[in-house]
Structure formats: structure tokens, C-alpha cells
């Protein structure tokens, strides 16, 4: 005989999953339940109390809000919103903040302002970092390097970037990028996730969630860390930056290590062959399925799919990283650095190979751009490491016909100050963080090649024309990939969360092809 559900002891018989409740509530319940298991079984009463408070008056009326009724699956999103120009993206992340006035934002008048103080009116009431707040004066440090015009577009490029100079007609240079944060962690977080606080999904996770995978055997979102150079001032980057936040963890970035095995423990240990591995995985999956049946925690399913992906990657990653079949022309283009695993050049080549294999989003981190001192000594090293490889990547994609539907992005988290941090001498200077303006570029699917967008004042300090806030920058990236940034949302903590956050953002149409 079937008992009335309220007459049974919930401890033993009633499964919340079977009750006529909205799926959203069930999900919240399962999360609570997981937490409760963690705390111990005695917490169950608390769990019921929490469920009751979650349901509130809905329990009495039996009416559920439509927005709570389903956890959106990727398929139900029906993306892209419109026909995309780019199917995939490669993000060259210049962590630390490249100095815009030494690379692409040419300011010829600064030479005669050497060691003069930057006018109060330009600096305004701006917040300073702890690094320069104590400085008595803010002397202007003109760029140590000369600039020349290149290409049909006539873009000015520093002598530090001889290779970038060769491809300016393929680039969309944005001189008016600006951000809100003045320190590395919040600024990288803001650029990557639309929020300075950790915990939100990053661009790659949103793409992964929204667009899904093209290749079943490789992750949708890959992160490549480049080897650090001890001469450079390397700010830490961590997996928070490629975290999926509140989205399912299967949308998090998969990092490839810069040395040794690209993925740890991917190769089978001695004495274990692929068949044994398969059997082991099947057994683990069986146990995980049982756990899921018992607890209903969606993260269990994510774990199962991650194990499966890892198994498939055992075959696909060695093929991906096997460069032996690359023709000589590849090495001629990328340069000798590309032979050494973990370098930025190697990662660029790997990114091209992943683009060919349908990886949706690859983010390459290059650290070391935090040039607080000895810019003249370190900047040439940084440029040698990145200039040729960036050029090689764009050129290689172009000649292979991949640039039409691949978007390449080159950006740091902020720019650097025109005034010197620490002592200024004719031979050397340092530069502090500068969020008000900095230069980035894009190339390929969806953006307009051969243009320079936005302008800064004569000190490269404030944007004077066509500002591109990082929110607008991200909205534009999503647009190139066929996504309306206002429509790709996920309900969490009572908000329709999105990559561009709650402050209105807009697609910068001037950048679009």
C-alpha cells in the first residue's frame, strides 16, 4: 500500500527527487544534501528545514516559478544566437600588463618631455598603487625605442616588434582598451570573468558551456602555460583564472603543463595497458553512478565525464603534441624556440594544431610583463619571446585558411604608466600599472583587419576617443563567436549571471568586419 508521502519517515523512504518539485529546487536540495553528507548524517533535519525555507510558500501553493524549473543544459541554449564569423578563438594572454607606449601606442611628443612631471590635469585624482604612491614626483619616461609605420594601414610599431610590424594589415589594434582594476589579480579576474572577485566562470568556460565541443577527443577549452623566464617579473597565475565558477566543472579549462608530460598521469603507469585502464575506469564509473543515484549531485556526473575525457585524451594528446610531422616551413616560421616544449612559441604552434583539431578555445598565458623596473633590460627579452611567435601563429593560421574562422586575441590585464616608477635615467626606467588605457589587438574571424581603433591623449594616459572597456571587449569577442552577451546567462545567486556582468556592456561595432 502506498503511504502518503508526509506520513513516511523521510530518513528512510521519501526521495526528494521523486516529489513533485521543480528541478531547480531539487538541484539546490541535492547540493545541500551533499553538504549535509559532508557534515554528517545528523544534519538531515537541518537539510529538511532548509528545503522548507527554499520552497517557502511555493510548498503550499504548489506553484513553481518557471525560471527555477530547469537547469539549462547546453543543448537547450540553442547557440550560437546568430551565424558566427569565428568558430574558435586563441587568446594570447600577456600577463603582467605590457607597456602600450613602448609597443604600439606611439607618442612622438614624449621625447621632448623627458623627465618633466606629468601634468596634474592629466593624472587627475587617480588612485595610485602602493608601488608609486610614495613617489615625490612622476617624471615622464619616453619610450627607449623608435617607431616606424608599416603596412597599407600605416600603423606605428615599435622597433621591439619587427614581426608584429609585418602583419599590421591583418590586425585590429585597439588603443583604447581600459579596465577598472589597478592590481594584477583583480584585473586579470575582471578581464577573464567580468568580475574582480574570483568565483565567476571565465570566457573559456562560457564558450565551452555555450558552444560546446567540436572534437570529442579533446577538451573544449585548453589552457597553455608558457615557461617563465627568471629574469622577468612573473606574477602568479592560477587555475582560478580558467575556472568554470558556478558552471559545471566540465566547462573549466584543461591546462597543459609547460614541462614534462603535458597532462600529469595521462600516460599509463608501467604494467598497466589501455585495456586494464578501461576496466578500471568502468568500475570507477559504476561506483560514481551509484553515488549519483544516492546523492544526485550533478558534480558526480561532471567527474564521470572528466574521467572519460582523460581516457580519450590518452590517445589524442600524444597525437596533438607530436610535432615530428611538421614541415620545415613551420620551424622556419615559428623560429627555433618552438622546438622547445613549454615556450611561448611552442604553445603558439600547439594552439594552431589545436585549432586544426577543433578545440574551441585556447588560452596561452605568457607571464613576465610586469615591468616595474629595468624596462630597457627586460622588455627586449619579452618581445623576443612573443613577437615572432604571435606573428607566426597569425600567419600560419592565415596561410592554412584557418584565420577566416579563428579569432586571435592579444591582451594583457592593463597597461603601464607613462611616468617612471623609481629612478628615471636616459638608459632606463620602470613603469607602474595603468588601467585607464592600454593597447590590445585581435585578428581573424569577425574583426576588421588593418585598422587602429580608439585614441589616447598625448601622454598615453587617458582615452580620448572610442573607449573600449574590458566588458565591451568581451561582449565583442562573444559577438564574433555568434553569441549575444546579454542572452548567454545562467541563473545563480538570484541573478542572470553573464560574462559581461551587471553593468551594461555593448558590442564595439567599429571593430567588426
Partner 1 sequence: MTFDFSKIFPKSRLAKLVWVLTLLVSAALLLLSTVFKLDGKVHADWQQFLGRFHPLVVHLPIGLILLVPLLEIAGRFRQALREAAAFVLSLSVAACLAAVILGYLLAYGSGESGVRVTRHMWGGITLTLAVLLCALVRPFWASGTPRRVLRDAYPCLLTVSSLLLLWTAHQGGSLTHGDSYLTEYLPASLKHWPGIGLAQATYPPASDSFYAKHIHPVLDANCVSCHGGAKVKGGLRLDSYSFLMRGGHEGAVVIPSEPERSLLIQRIMLPADHKKFMPAEGKPPLKPEEILLIKTWIAQGASPTVTSLAGITVREEEKPLPLVGDYSGLMAEIEQIAKAEGVTIVPVSRNPADGLVLNTVNAPTNFGDAQLARFQQFAPFIVEVELGRTSVTDACFDTLAKFSHLRALHLEDTAVTGVGLQKLTQLSQLTYLNLSGTKVGEAAVASLGSLKQLRHLYLYNTPAHPESAAPAGPQSVERSKARQAS
- In the complex, which residues of this chain contact partner 1 (CB under 8 A)? 78-84, 214-217, 327-329, 333, 356-358, 395, 398-401, 404, 448, 482
Nearest distance from C-beta of residue 448 to partner 1, angstroms: 8
Cα angle: 218, vertex 220, 226; to 5 degrees? 85
Q: Which residues of 269-288 are buried (b: 16+ CB within 10 A; e: fewer)?
A: eeeeeeeeeeeebeeeeeeb
43/80 with CB nearer partner 1: 80
Largest alpha-carbon pair distance within the chain? 94
101/345 with CB nearer partner 1: 345
Radius of gyration from C-alpha coordinates of the chain? 26
Give the Cα separation of 421 and 417 in Å (integer).
Answer: 8
Helix, strand, coil percentages, rounded to 5, for the chain = 40, 15, 45
Nearest distance from C-beta of residue 490 to partner 1, angstroms: 17
Phi-psi region for residue 94, left (φ > 0), alpha (ψ -120 to 50) or beta?
beta
172/228 with CB nearer partner 1: 172
- Cell readout for 23 is 528541478
Contacts of 4 (CB under 8 A, 6+ apart): none
Give the Cα separation of 205 and 203 in Å (integer).
Answer: 5
69/329 with CB nearer partner 1: 329
93/453 with CB nearer partner 1: 453
Nearest distance from C-beta of residue 335 to partner 1, angstroms: 15
Nearest distance from C-beta of residue 395 to partner 1, angstroms: 8
Contacts of 25 (CB under 8 A, 6+ apart): 51, 54, 55, 64, 68
Nearest distance from C-beta of residue 461 to partner 1, angstroms: 27
Nearest distance from C-beta of residue 58 to partner 1, angstroms: 31
196/488 with CB nearer partner 1: 488
**Which of 62, 27, 32 is CA-nearest to residue 45?**
32
Nearest distance from C-beta of residue 359 to partner 1, angstroms: 10
3-state SS string for 251-283: HCCEEECCCCCCCCCCCCCCCCCHHHHHHHHHH
Give the Cα separation of 449 and 456 in Å (integer).
Answer: 20
Nearest distance from C-beta of residue 43 to partner 1, angstroms: 43
Partner residues linked to 407 by β-bridges: 89, 444
Nearest distance from C-beta of residue 489 to partner 1, angstroms: 15
3-state secondary structure of 306: helix
Count CB-CB contacts under 10 A for residue 338: 23
3-state SS string for 374-402: CHHHHHHHHHHHHHHHHHHHHHHHHHCCC
Contact predicate 227/342, CB 8 Å: yes
**Which of 317, 312, 310, 366 is CA-nearest to residue 337?**
366
Give the Cα separation of 119 and 139 in Å (integer).
Answer: 10
181/475 with CB nearer partner 1: 475
Nearest distance from C-beta of residue 216 to partner 1, angstroms: 5
131/310 with CB nearer partner 1: 310
Nearest distance from C-beta of residue 483 to partner 1, angstroms: 10
395/460 with CB nearer partner 1: 395
Long-range CB pairs of 322-328, under 8 A, 24+ apart, other chains included: 323/349, 323/353
Give the Cα separation of 379 and 385 in Å (integer).
Answer: 10
Cell 615530428 belongs to residue: 324
Nearest distance from C-beta of residue 84 to partner 1, angstroms: 7
Amino acid at each position: 500500500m502506498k503511504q502518503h508521502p508526509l506520513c513516511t519517515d523521510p530518513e528512510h523512504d521519501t526521495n526528494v527527487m521523486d516529489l513533485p518539485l521543480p528541478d531547480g529546487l531539487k538541484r539546490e536540495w541535492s547540493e545541500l544534501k551533499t553538504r549535509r553528507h559532508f557534515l554528517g548524517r545528523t544534519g538531515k533535519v537541518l537539510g529538511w528545514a532548509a528545503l522548507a525555507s527554499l520552497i517557502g510558500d511555493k510548498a503550499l501553493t504548489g506553484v513553481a516559478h518557471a525560471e527555477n524549473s530547469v537547469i539549462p543544459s547546453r543543448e537547450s541554449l540553442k547557440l550560437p544566437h546568430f551565424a558566427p564569423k569565428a568558430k574558435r578563438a586563441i587568446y594570447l594572454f600577456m600577463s603582467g600588463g605590457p607597456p602600450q607606449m613602448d609597443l604600439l601606442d606611439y607618442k612622438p611628443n614624449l621625447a621632448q618631455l623627458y623627465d618633466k612631471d606629468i601634468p596634474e590635469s592629466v593624472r587627475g585624482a587617480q588612485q595610485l598603487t602602493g608601488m608609486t604612491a610614495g613617489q615625490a614626483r612622476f617624471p615622464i619616461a619616453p619610450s627607449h625605442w623608435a617607431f616606424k609605420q608599416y603596412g597599407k594601414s600605416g600603423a606605428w610599431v615599435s622597433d621591439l616588434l619587427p614581426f608584429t610590424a609585418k602583419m599590421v594589415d591583418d590586425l585590429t589594434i585597439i588603443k583604447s582598451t581600459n579596465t577598472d582594476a589597478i592590481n594584477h589579480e583583480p584585473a586579470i579576474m575582471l578581464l577573464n570573468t567580468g568580475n574582480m572577485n574570483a568565483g565567476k566562470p571565465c570566457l573559456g568556460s562560457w564558450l565551452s558551456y555555450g558552444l560546446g565541443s567540436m572534437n570529442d577527443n579533446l577538451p573544449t577549452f585548453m589552457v597553455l602555460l608558457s615557461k617563465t623566464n627568471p629574469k622577468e617579473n612573473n606574477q602568479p597565475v592560477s587555475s582560478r583564472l580558467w575556472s568554470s565558477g558556478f558552471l559545471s566543472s566540465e566547462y573549466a579549462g584543461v591546462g597543459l603543463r609547460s614541462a614534462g608530460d603535458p597532462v600529469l598521469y595521462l600516460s599509463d603507469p608501467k604494467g598497466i595497458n589501455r585495456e586494464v585502464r578501461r576496466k578500471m575506469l568502468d568500475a570507477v564509473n559504476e561506483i560514481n553512478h551509484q553515488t549519483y543515484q544516492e546523492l544526485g549531485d550533478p558534480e558526480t556526473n561532471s567527474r564521470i565525464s572528466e574521467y572519460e575525457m582523460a581516457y580519450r585524451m590518452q590517445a589524442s594528446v600524444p597525437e596533438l603534441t607530436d610535432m615530428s610531422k611538421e614541415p620545415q616551413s613551420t620551424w622556419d616560421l615559428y623560429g627555433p624556440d618552438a622546438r622547445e616544449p613549454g615556450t611561448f612559441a611552442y604553445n603558439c604552434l600547439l594552439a594552431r594544431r589545436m585549432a586544426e583539431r577543433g578545440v574551441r578555445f585556447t588560452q596561452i598565458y605568457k607571464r613576465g610583463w610586469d615591468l616595474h623596473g629595468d624596462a630597457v633590460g627586460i622588455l627586449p627579452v619579452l618581445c623576443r619571446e612573443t613577437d615572432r611567435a604571435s606573428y607566426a601563429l597569425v600567419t600560419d593560421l592565415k596561410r592554412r585558411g584557418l584565420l577566416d574562422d579563428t579569432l586571435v586575441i592579444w591582451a594583457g590585464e592593463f597597461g603601464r604608466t607613462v611616468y617612471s616608477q623609481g629612478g628615471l635615467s636616459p638608459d632606463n626606467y620602470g613603469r607602474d600599472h595603468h588601467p585607464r588605457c592600454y593597447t590590445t589587438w585581435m585578428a581573424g574571424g569577425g574583426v576588421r583587419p588593418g585598422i587602429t581603433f580608439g585614441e589616447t591623449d598625448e601622454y598615453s594616459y587617458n582615452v580620448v576617443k572610442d573607449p573600449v572597456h574590458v566588458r565591451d571587449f568581451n561582449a565583442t569577442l562573444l559577438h564574433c563567436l555568434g553569441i549575444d552577451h546579454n542572452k548567454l546567462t545562467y541563473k545563480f545567486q538570484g541573478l542572470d549571471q553573464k560574462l559581461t556582468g551587471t553593468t551594461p556592456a555593448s558590442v564595439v561595432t567599429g571593430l567588426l568586419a
